[in-house]
Amino acid sequence: MKKILITGGAGFIGSALVRHLIKNTNYQALVVDKLTYAGNLESLKDVSSSSRYGFLKLDICDSSIKKVLDDFRPNAIMHLAAESHVDRSIDGPSEFIKTNILGTFNLLEVALSYWKENGKPADFRFQHISTDEVFGSLGESGLFSEATAYDPSSPYSASKASSDHLVRAWHRTYDLPVLITNCSNNYGPYHYPEKLIPLIINNALQGKPLPVYGDGLQVRDWLYVEDHVLALCAVLEKGRVGETYNVGGDSEKTNIQVVRLICEILDEICPCSDNKSYSKQITHVQDRPGHDRRYAIDCTKLKTELGWKQLETFETGIKKTVEWFLANAEWVEAVLKNKYSGERLGAKK
């Protein structure tokens, strides 16, 4: 039985990964998570009773994580712990620098020490999960490839770009067996309500304005989180050491298209009492400072080398997402009540 240590495993993508590993594989998973505002053990409730699941509340900047590795003896580390919201990074970049850069550095150091002390096992992997935002903004055409030059625009993307470079450096300098993935915008169940899709769903149901930044024509490539998880597992099991793999959903949509589609789905399955369309609540607001205009991922390498393909189109994935939020109002209410009230973030200049 292989053991995987997963940092940030109580977050959105991390919890989806853990749920998959426990439900669909024989891996043993140990989650290490600081449980900041976006970490939620309720997202792991479905698998928490499994003998193959474990949890430790711990900051990846803490040196005691070395003892965790020595005790657990993982075959792999899947590093997802990160501060991840662009708007929050604009308001307060220091936490992003600390967690995303210094935390990754600390984790690399303890992983390298652990790997060496155990004879440099050939099957050990340090897998770093990153974002397409490190590449900056595209024009009207073209796609991000693994060879695209880095050009981050926000404190968040700059911190993730830094962490990517550190991981590559630890491979090239110390031979640590690493893998890197850069993904497009994720969405799906258990998504924290500060992000666009869950924010729009929740605001719509509460009769609140549906905020759209600027003209709403910013383009993103949308990736259903469970498809992302399958890609991460494919990279872990079959990826070439030292390589980077882009993960995308082949689903380019403008922000306004996303918002209008959510409104159409809600109009169909949960119509307003006055029979008006939820689209009447759409409100254009001041744009985000330094807002990248377009992201789009070329994941040919992932598909051709590792045989991955996404199972959801945006249309099927977004409907599943809306239905999940409608069916899990208690989870949403608990998050909104205790940690986030839906306020605008990232308007600072």
Residues annotated as catalytic (active site), given as ranges? 132-133, 156
Contacts of 168 (CB under 8 A, 6+ apart): 178, 180, 242
CA distances from 230 to 13, 17, 305, 310, 341 (A): 11, 8, 14, 8, 32
Contacts of 145 (CB under 8 A, 6+ apart): 246, 298, 301
Contacts of 347 (CB under 8 A, 6+ apart): 87, 90, 286, 288, 289
Report residue 274 as tokens: 């006055």
Residues 129/80, Cβ–Cβ less than 8 Å: yes
| Residue spans of alpha helices (H) in the chain | 12-24, 65-72, 86-91, 94-96, 104-117, 155-174, 196-205, 225-238, 255-269, 300-306, 314-327, 329-338
Distance CA 105, CA 277 (A): 49
